[in-house]
Structure 1
C-alpha cells in the first residue's frame, strides 16, 4: 500500500515543483502578449504584406486578362 502511494505521490510532487510553475509563467506571459495587441512594427509589417498581396492580386488579374485575350483555352489545360 505504501509503495503504491509513493509511486503516485512522487510524480505529483515533481510536477508541482518543476512543471506547474513554468507552465503557469509561460501561460500568463503568452496571455499578456495576446492582450497587448500588435506593436507598431508588427502593424507596419502586416500593412506591408496586405499591400503586397493586393498588388499581387492585381498582377494576377492582369495576366489572366492577357492570357484570356491571347489564348482563350488556357484555363482548360490544367
Structure 2
C-alpha cells in the first residue's frame, strides 16, 4: 500500500515543484498580452487586410454584374 502511495505522490510533487510554476507564469503572461490588445503593427496589418477585403468584394460584385449581363444563366451552371 505504501508503494502505491509513493508512486502517486512522487509525480505529484515533481509536477508541483517544476511544471505548475512554469505553467502559471506562461498562462498569466499570455493573459496579460491578450488584455493589452493589438500592437500598432498588428492594427496596421488588420486595417490593410480589411481594405483588401473591401476591394475584393467590389471586384467580385463587378464581375458578377458583368457575368449577369453577358451570361444570365452562369449561376445555374455551378
Query: TM-score, normalized by length of structure 2?
Result: 0.96
C-alpha displacement of 1:23: 0.7
C-alpha displacement of 1:19: 1.2
Number of residue pairs matched by the alignment: 78
Query: What is the RMSD of the two structures over their aligned residues, measured on CA atoms?
Result: 0.7
Matched, 1:67 2:63: no
Could you list the structure 1 runs, at least 4 aligned residues long, displaced by more than 3 angstroms after superposition.
Answer: none
Unmatched 5+ residue regions in structure 1? none
Matched, 1:35 2:35: yes
Instruction: Return the alpha-carbon distance in structure 2 between the equivalents of residues 9 and 72 of structure 1.
Output: 74
After superposition, the C-alpha distances for 1:11-54 in whole angstroms (9 at most, x for unaligned) are 10111112101110110010000110111111100000000000
